[in-house]
Amino acid sequence: MRQIISFYSLLLVVSITNAQTTQDSINQQINGAQRLMSTNVNSGVTVGGYGEITYNQPENENGEIDVQRLVLLFGYKFNEQVQFITEIEFEHVKEVFVEQAFVNYNVAENFNIRGGLMLVPMGIINEFHEPTTFNGNERPSLDNVIVPTTWREIGFGINGRFSSIDLGYQAYIFNGFKSSFLDENGEIQGLLKGSNGLRSGRQKGIQSTISSPTFAAKFDYYGILGLRLGLSGYVGQTQSENELNNVEGAQIGIVMVGFDARYNYKRFTARGQFIYTSLSDTNLYNNLTGKDLGSALQGWYLEGAYNVLPLSKKQKLIAFTRVEQYDTHASTTGGLSKNDAYNRMDVTTGLSYHIAPGVVVKGDYQFKDNALAGNELKNQLNIGIGVWF
């Protein structure tokens, strides 16, 4: 009996191998032409990446030259339905992060299950931040202090689309922000603060602590030609270390909602975003940690852009202006007075010169202001190179 089984197992292996060889050669025939367009895909391996090299020059100060980000994308398709995607990020040359690492399982048409280290779908930039997809060298400031891009955590969930009504959806359970921890002296320290809200609480999948899951969802509507609308939501508690689980104020509650719109018609493009974040128990948190975290964070931006080159040209020269207003102290509780330095307004204007699809040279100037009387922020000139392939 055993011999028979071994014989058939062998036969099975041989026949599978044969089938694969046949299939591969057919694929090669089918895809010979596409191989020219994309050499990556057919072997199952995808290689890509993006990078930003920038020069920031504030008024009357020394400038900074930096390889701000270099992100390498690798994907592997195990079969028609199962794919692994990862992005390895080098920040400022020396810091290495994993920006994404997830498995996507295409269960049915327009329906996927996904798990791993993923981007939280909130607003535009957190998911779409390749340098050729946005104007200006720096991401909108709103997408730094209110939506803490690149915001990624470990989680799982579903995504897909209702094709007939042109609606895409994503819904995930994520690990949340870490709000507090005990330092080596046993003192309670807080990670979240007034100047940049939740940003310092990102755990990024690095030996993250989890005490309660959070929930994120986004809907994208693209049924009107040239227009794309997004509605995002995020709810949950922050995380803290074991010892602090029952300490009042060690965790706070977060509700974040975002609305975004992108429009393009021939040479004209526009986009805008509004984000409102409500934080609960910030008074307890501030008392416990001595921080100055606001109880609401709010911001918006609007951007208009025009390609000054005719559309028949392969290159694009885009002139743009973006106006942003954002406040990480939109409201405060527990006697914490609003810090007007956190109520900011940026106007960014400049050019994006797309030498080829995927290569952009950017130059822009940022006028920065806040609500504080007499506290003049330094305006800044930015020049940079961005690539995406």
Partner 1 sequence: MKVIKNSIVLILSLTVFTLQSFQLPKNIQKKVDKEIKLAFEMESFTLESISVSENVNEKLITKITGHNFYKIKQNDSIFGYAFVDKAPSKAAQFDYLVLLDNQLIIKKSKVLIYREEYGGEISSKRWLKQFVGKSAIDQLKYGKDIIAISGATISARSMTLAVNNLFSTLEILQKNNTI
Bridge pairing between strands 188-190 and 253-265: unpaired
Contact flag: residue 220 with partner 1 (CB under 8 A)? yes
Contact flag: residue 78 with partner 1 (CB under 8 A)? no
Other beta carbons within 10 Å of 130: 20
Which position among 57, 106, 209, 333 is part of the footprint of partner 1 (CB under 8 A)? 106
* Three-class secondary structure of residue 10 per DSSP: helix
Contact flag: residue 211 with partner 1 (CB under 8 A)? no
* Three-class secondary structure of residue 121 per DSSP: coil
Q: Would you say 85 or 387 has its CB closer to partner 1? A: 85
Contact flag: residue 16 with partner 1 (CB under 8 A)? yes
Contact flag: residue 223 with partner 1 (CB under 8 A)? yes
Other beta carbons within 10 Å of 106: 16
Which position among 107, 187, 231, 265 is part of the footprint of partner 1 (CB under 8 A)? 265
Contact flag: residue 293 with partner 1 (CB under 8 A)? no
Tokens of residue 356, six digits:
């080829």
Contact flag: residue 264 with partner 1 (CB under 8 A)? yes
Other beta carbons within 10 Å of 96: 9
Which stretches does DSSP call E strand in the chain? 45-58, 64-77, 82-91, 95-108, 111-119, 152-162, 167-174, 178-182, 188-190, 214-221, 227-237, 239-240, 253-265, 268-280, 296-307, 316-331, 343-356, 359-370, 380-388
Tokens of residue 284, six digits:
């307890």
Amino acid at 242: N
Give the span between the Cα atoms of 367 and 350, in whole angstroms: 11
Contact flag: residue 311 with partner 1 (CB under 8 A)? yes
Which position among 49, 58, 63, 75 is part of the footprint of partner 1 (CB under 8 A)? 75
Rounded to a whole number of angstroms, the minimum distance from the CB of residue 167 to partner 1 is: 10
Helices (H), 279-388: 282-289
- Burial class, 26, CB count within 10 angstroms (exposed 0-12 / middle 13-18 / buried 19+): exposed
Name the residue with tokens 């810090």. 339
Contact flag: residue 19 with partner 1 (CB under 8 A)? yes
Q: Would you say 127 or 327 has its CB closer to partner 1? A: 127
Contact flag: residue 290 with partner 1 (CB under 8 A)? no
Nearest to 325 by CA among 283, 360, 370: 370
Other beta carbons within 10 Å of 333: 16
Q: Would you say 52 or 281 has its CB closer to partner 1? A: 52
**Cis peptide preceding 150, ω within 30 of 0:** yes
Q: Which of residues 130-189 bind partner 1 (CB under 8 A)?
A: 133, 159-161, 163, 166, 168, 170
Rounded to a whole number of angstroms, the minimum distance from the CB of residue 74 to partner 1 is: 9
Contact flag: residue 31 with partner 1 (CB under 8 A)? yes
Which position among 152, 178, 202, 228 is part of the footprint of partner 1 (CB under 8 A)? 228
Contact flag: residue 37 with partner 1 (CB under 8 A)? yes
Rounded to a whole number of angstroms, the minimum distance from the CB of residue 333 to partner 1 is: 37
Other beta carbons within 10 Å of 212: 13
HSE-up of residue 16 (Cα within 13 Å, Cβ side): 6
Q: Would you say 271 or 344 has its CB closer to partner 1? A: 271
Contact flag: residue 251 with partner 1 (CB under 8 A)? no
Q: Would you say 291 or 316 has its CB closer to partner 1? A: 316
Q: Would you say 162 or 367 has its CB closer to partner 1? A: 162
Rounded to a whole number of angstroms, the minimum distance from the CB of residue 134 to partner 1 is: 10
Largest CA distance in the chain: 91
Scanning 104-112, 249-257, 287-295, 335-343 for contacts with partner 1 by CB under 8 A, the matching segment is 104-112
Site residues for partner 1 per CB under 8 A: 4-5, 8-9, 11-12, 15-16, 18-19, 22-23, 26, 29-34, 36-38, 40-42, 46, 48, 73, 75, 77, 80-81, 83, 85, 104, 106, 109-110, 112, 114, 124, 127-128, 133, 159-161, 163, 166, 168, 170, 220, 222-226, 228, 262-266, 269, 271, 311-312, 357
